[in-house]
Structure 1
């Protein structure tokens, strides 16, 4: 028997068989996610325990998270006139979780308490499905709920997107008619959140100085919240609501470049376990009835979101056997997680069910689904706010990245923000250890060692980052040690060689260094399911050829080549340790190895990186001809850069 055993590897039949074309299909998907939660729910409904892994916050808060996050979907379903047989569990949970005399009481909020996060879906639930929530609680239950939520108004919150959670708590109290609604607190929070705005639709996830524009700036939190607010408060707060809608129009024209033809979004930043929450912005656009900018239409928006959801219904590792969500991205992976990820955390993805709140007559549902806009295919866009260059030339959707970093300690932050490139097809990799390159998962990074390869440093904190549209590159600095300075230029693909991008590094060092520069990591198994073997042709396998390396598998082709001047580097097709890459648990990484001694002169290294997803093979036959188009003019590239 050869290949992977399909009956072990297959997605859940109830998920994979769902065509996800209609509103009913989407409701069925939600039901298939909610049903498995019943057996993990406490008798009083207020806590859902899906596992035993730990977080920086307490178990009760983690179980509240499991309870609350599915409400994003349930509330949308009920608001749109749908129904769910198990809805009573969540109504009872709201009553028991906020009752101080109940054994299932969630506990009152302290400063910067994780419970604050879960007030957001609860507030949304109250806001859009009051007849199913507030109206079902009775006077004592209403009093307990409003008391519990109102505590938040007097507590300290992180100066981040978290402030939106208090806005939603007050919004829920307001729409329920509660006297505990604090209008002044909500306005102050909104005014402060608006200071995060930096233009062209983008907001930082924090105050000035924070350089973090990831999915929290869009689908996970800020843009999503702005659009929901603009829908619910359009009459009471028309000026702010209109401003939020205008921001979304601008943002959409950038954000579309993070999605590919297959429906995949480019993994970047933290909280990747939220998975298809990455596409919830598109549903929120529809919910807020935003007037779409060309070339976006309701058919395009519908396609962007539904293709993303289809991708996830056919990704088996995202689910346990009972359809509950795993902790990870495309498969269970605790190396990926942040210390705030509990087993219930992934259900933030339920934000993507917001279009269930829309009637069947809404243009999102009546429009015929359209493919990715033709006008945006084969294009590149310089995105000045996130310091990204987005490209889908040649059928590969990815970004070059310089300048972002998390403003506080986050596990694997160098991998999540500091890599040179991020791909929708190939994802990114994370370290699983600290002593070997195989453990490092050093895709799309220049890793440096000053101890002959025992410990490696990668770019984490980027300095002096700038985007130069006129010259066509990103430029940034990195200081791994006090006596080592690395300056990097990233040049996107050109139409004449669309599958190659170029990196230039200038290294000035006061110590002897070993370098390892990685390309994209790729699924590393052959047709028989075993590790790839060496191959010089177009068949599956690996190639090491002087200062170049390549790997070919069912996922596509990736490679790296040194455009050398003087001393050369050596190409290696390295088999990474298992579970480093967030999309594929077994990968091969084409890598260039070099040495750079102490010198008063700069070390210049120029690198060309190749990537072709299997889905784009039809655009490049034979693809080997594209491999042969690698950029080779190192001197010309350096002259261009040095002239700047």
Structure 2
């Protein structure tokens, strides 16, 4: 949000604008932030140090599991901090975690003790399985200074607790990497066996099935492409290979990370923010885990200076925009606390998966990641449009205001076995576009960036998204998808009703073309633009170009977004019957700069003579964009 930025509750070194002209931050800043976050969290530890009972709304797994989460996720930050310093631990973090490990594994099942809940399957509210991976990775990173110095019985108890992850069924997604990580640790300390080998083989095989190409994994079966690529699906297997010296696996997973970063690095705004897109967004700057891991392992297309610019910019972005409470804890939300950003599994310590960003500290002080001069982020190198066909995303950035928009024509959170009406509107996946400066509106409010089809007064939502292609040229790009609107009341589907959508990004403009087929008489069609409000100096405009009888009306979203207390969304309204085309132009721009003109950017819109087959848009500066359906083809011709 705009306005005065709260001071950080812990001290930082002086900025170094010579080596870090963009952020001012150096490796010493990262160490200071890690120490500050750890110091604040440990004020909430139980006497034995096994649980960090942070204040806040309990998760569905219960307060004991939440306390374990506090221990495990902060342990990651401490482990990266100490391992990157080659065992130097001036704050004595590892002594605390060693003490907590002994207490947590001492008396299983004792409610009056600090014992950790057992690791069970995901059907049993199995959050401890998630945390077992953080405990195991922390132990592996710090083995010479923590594990090797533990009493034998503590090591045995810790192994017994961790093995629960190998003996229960994970959730059918990135969770399979948690027993994989546990097994990797046990094998690294000479405790591997057939059980650990099976857990690793199973996860590796599943990961191959989830890899879709071009550096992108789906989070399980289906088409869930989001930040889990950075903070889980790339992180665990490549870091495991790196720590274990496995060159074959390192090359396989490293090449995928390198390819992933070619597109993912372009998604960060000039202010350091990633797009507000997908689930678990309370992990915040964990989104730069892939950037740091690429620099540490060498599997990256980015220069060291650009990597530090991206990673440091994201870390600083959140810390300076209210992510910390007054006593230095990471709150549940985006900038400050924000309930709609959270999931049912989110607890008070969930935000500390942000600790994964500190993987960058595994690069020692003399590494080029820290010594090379910062270089601009991709968004600062000029306007760009980048198509990512595999996930069905179109990355669209404008250098002048530093905003990055991600047009979504391929990512959802629906698994193949789920029914179409298994859930209603999903703001974090179902919208047409997301950005680094705006968030989706909350359920119950008007949906932003949405083509709505209303039949018999029942509004349909975009749920299962099927890509139809994506591509880019010099200064422009496109992506397309189709879906069947899902209705929360009455029959979930209207037979034959289908929406095909195309986004064409060019300069600051978003040309949005929709083809509705199978619409019964009386069908109402609406289209909304970006949600903006008083806390972000932005302008959202939506201009009708074809088959919208009137101009846009502002619609209030009282619950606001993660960026603003309340929001307003421009909306167009029209009608559809049988087959219809609807074309509009959306703009999101910084209010402080020149606002791009609206309809004057387009000189002419011509519908295809064959009803519903497509349109041609002639831009005021000359080029023509042709959009054709059945099948979808998008071309641009220069005057």
Shared fold (TM-score greater than 0.5)?
Answer: yes
TM-score, length-scaled by structure 1 = 0.84
Which shows bigger deviation, 241-250 or 87-96? Answer: 87-96
Kindly report which structure 2 residues correspond to 1:232-631, keeping only aligned pairs within 5 A, or say none: 232-234=243-245, 237-290=246-299, 292-293=300-301, 296-316=302-322, 318-373=323-378, 377-393=382-398, 395=400, 396-408=403-415, 414-431=426-443, 433=444, 439-440=445-446, 442-450=447-455, 452=457, 456-463=459-466, 465-467=468-470, 472-480=478-486, 481-483=493-495, 485-495=497-507, 498-510=508-520, 512-524=522-534, 555-565=537-547, 568-578=549-559, 580-596=560-576, 599=577, 601-614=578-591, 617=593, 622-623=594-595, 625=597, 628-630=600-602
More strand by share: 2
Question: Does structure 1 residue 200 correspond to structure 2 residue 206?
Answer: no
In the other structure, the counterpart of 1:128 is 141
In structure 2, C-alpha distance between the alignment counterparts of 1:624 and 1:199, rounded to whole Å? 36
CA distance in 2, matches of 1:37, 1:45: 11
- Distance in 2 between residues matched to 1:569 and 1:484, nearest whole Å: 28
Instruction: Rate the CA distance shift 1:63–1:451 in 2: closer, same or farther, 3 A.
Output: farther
Give how far 1:586 is off: 2.2
**Aligned residue for 1:641?**
627
Distance in 2 of aligned mates of 1:33 and 1:631 = 54
Q: Name the structure 2 match of 1:115.
A: 128
Contact 1:212/1:404 (<8 A) preserved:
yes
Shift of 1:14: 3.5
Does the residue aligned with 1:397 lie in a helix, a strand or coil?
A: strand
Maintained 8 Å contact 1:524/1:588: no
Deviation at 1:614, TM superposition (A): 4.7
Distance 2:552 2:389 in 1: 33
The Cα offsets for residues 386-444 of structure 1, whole Å up to 9 and x where unpaired, read as 1011111464311111132213589876211111111112232221x3xxxxx23x111
Paired residues in the alignment total 582
The alignment status of 1:31 with 2:12, answered yes or no, reads no
Match of 2:19 in 1: none
Q: Name the counterpart of 1:222.
A: 233
Look up the match of 1:188. Answer: 202
- Structure 2 alignment gaps of length 5 or more: 16-23, 487-492, 609-613, 617-625, 632-639
Conservation of the 8 A alpha-carbon contact between 2:509 and 2:585? no
SS at match of 1:523: coil
Q: Given that residues 91 and 136 in structure 1 are in contact (C-alpha distance below 8 angstroms), is that contact kept between their aligned partners in structure 2?
A: no
CA distance in 1, matches of 2:494, 2:365: 61
Alpha-carbon spacing, 1:270–1:373, altered in 2? closer, same or farther (3 Å) = closer
Cα 1:280–1:307 shift into 2, 3 Å: same
**CA distance in 2 between partners of 1:198 and 1:447 (Å):** 30
SS at match of 1:489: strand
Distance 1:333 1:315, change over 3 A: same
What per-residue deviation string (whole Å, max 9, x for no partner) do you get for residues 457-506 of structure 1? 321122464436699441313233314623233232224xx334323242
CA distance in 2, matches of 1:53, 1:232: 36
Flag the 1:468–1:362 CA change in 2: closer, same or farther, 3 A. closer
Q: 1:505 to 1:609 in 2, by over 3 A?
A: farther
In the alignment, which of 59, 66, 69 is matched to residue 63 of structure 2? 59
Aligned to 1:539: none
Answer yes or no: is 1:231 the counterpart of 2:261. Answer: no
User: Given the superposition, is the C-alpha separation of residues 38 and 374 from structure 1 closer, same or farther in structure 2, using an over 3 Å criterion?
Assistant: closer
Whole-Å separation in 2 of the counterparts to 1:190 and 1:179? 17
Instruction: Report SS of the residue matched to 2:316.
Output: helix
Note if contact 2:479-2:504 (Cα within 8 Å) is conserved in structure 1: yes
CA distance, structure 1, for counterparts of residue 374 and residue 383 of structure 2: 21
Corresponding position of 2:20: none
Q: Is the 8 A contact 1:393 1:493 kept in 2?
A: no
Q: Which has the higher helix share?
A: 1
Alignment CA distance shift 1:190-1:179 (3 Å): closer
Deviations for 1:12-54, whole angstroms, at most 9, x for unmatched residues?
3547987462111111111111111123211111112223524
CA RMSD in angstroms, aligned pairs only: 2.8
- Paired with 1:344 and 1:631, the residues of 2 have a C-alpha distance of 53
**For the Cα contact (< 8 Å) 2:119–2:132, is it kept in 1?**
no
Q: Is the 8 A contact 1:524 1:575 kept in 2?
A: no
Query: In 2, are the aligned partners of 1:406 and 1:413 still within 8 Å (CA)?
Result: no
Give the Cα separation in 2 of the matches to 1:326 and 1:374: 28
